[in-house]
Structure 1
Amino acid sequence: MTATPRLGAIAVLVDGDRVLLAQRGKSPDRGLWGFPGGHVEPGETALEAARRELFEETGVQARPVEYLTNVDVIRHDTDGRVVVHYLLAAVLCADPLGTPRADDDAQDAAWVPVDQVRSGALPMSARVADVMELALLRRRALLSR
């Protein structure tokens, strides 16, 4: 672990009553379902990174709309030392194009019914359901304008 937390971006894409999720192929959270995402590269905004990572991991293209929230991912070893610390910028995306397929470091990618996320039917990364609910609220507000 470096002394400085790493910045990442996740693409939160809700379409009707479904949300696009990817099953992580690498640590942290290997095997868990969550929003497609990854590191923000130098000179890249988190909005740009969310769009890029979404396409790299799922083959789906979408337009980044706005920042939703931030998610801290902090993991400790058995001695209490920080071994992972990411600050993830959750980016609301819209207008999906393409069919999800796992690529890059994703094991799987799929449109998942919102109700399945709410019920915890899949093994998921922390805060996926909370961030999805925030995206649903924000999307409704934007559509009602």
Structure 2
Amino acid sequence: MQKTESAGGVIINARGEVVVVNQQHDSWSLPKGHIDPGESALEAAKREVAEESGITELEFVRALGSYERYRIGKSGIGEDMSELKEIHMFLFTTDEDTLAPVDPGNPEARWIPIPQVTALLTHPKDREFFESIKDSLK
């Protein structure tokens, strides 16, 4: 099993909505991805948010902590236990409204009201993480 580190963001707009992104048309998550060599977790989070949502104007608020999970299995079903990710998450706000993903592996992004985010997230560990922090977002 390979262990990797990823970073991502919870991005909130002025309406109190959160960006959720789609991978390969079959799973939904918060924007995140692998940390490149020489990159800090915060830098990686900003880069991944830009790639997966198109949002580049981010105001850093605070670190939200880290959690571990296996990658999502093919076709968005189950877990692929060949990779265990440690995911570092950060909270950002933005005045940008337009979502325009540039990563072809993440073709869609949506603004979702906070109370509806958990139900849309595919991976149980992503849902568990969001539930643990959502009350601190208001």
TM range (shorter): 0.7 to 0.9
Task: Map 1:85-96 to 2 at 5 A.
Answer: 85-96=84-95
Displacement after TM superposition at 1:84 (Å):
1.3
Task: Map 1:46-125 to 2 at 5 A.
Answer: 46-61=41-56, 62-74=58-70, 82-104=81-103, 105-118=105-118, 120=119, 122=120, 124-125=122-123
Aligned equivalents of 1:127 and 1:17: distance in 2? Answer: 23
Percent identical among aligned pairs is: 27
User: Which position in structure 1 is the counterpart of 2:6?
Assistant: 8
Displacement after TM superposition at 1:43 (Å):
1.4
User: Which position in structure 1 is the counterpart of 2:18?
Assistant: 19
- Greater Rg, structure 1 or structure 2? 1
With normalisation by structure 2, the TM-score equals: 0.77
User: Which position in structure 2 is the counterpart of 1:32?
Assistant: 27
Aligned-partner SS, 1:97: coil
Aligned equivalents of 1:131 and 1:49: distance in 2? Answer: 19
Deviation by residue 1:86-124 (Cα, 9 ceiling, x = unmatched): 100011112242511232120210101223224x2x352
Aligned-partner SS, 2:124: coil
Aligned equivalents of 2:92 and 2:125: distance in 1? Answer: 17
With normalisation by structure 1, the TM-score equals: 0.73
Aligned residue pairs, count: 128
Structure 2 letter corresponding to 1:117: V
Larger deviation, residues 34-43 vs 123-132: 123-132
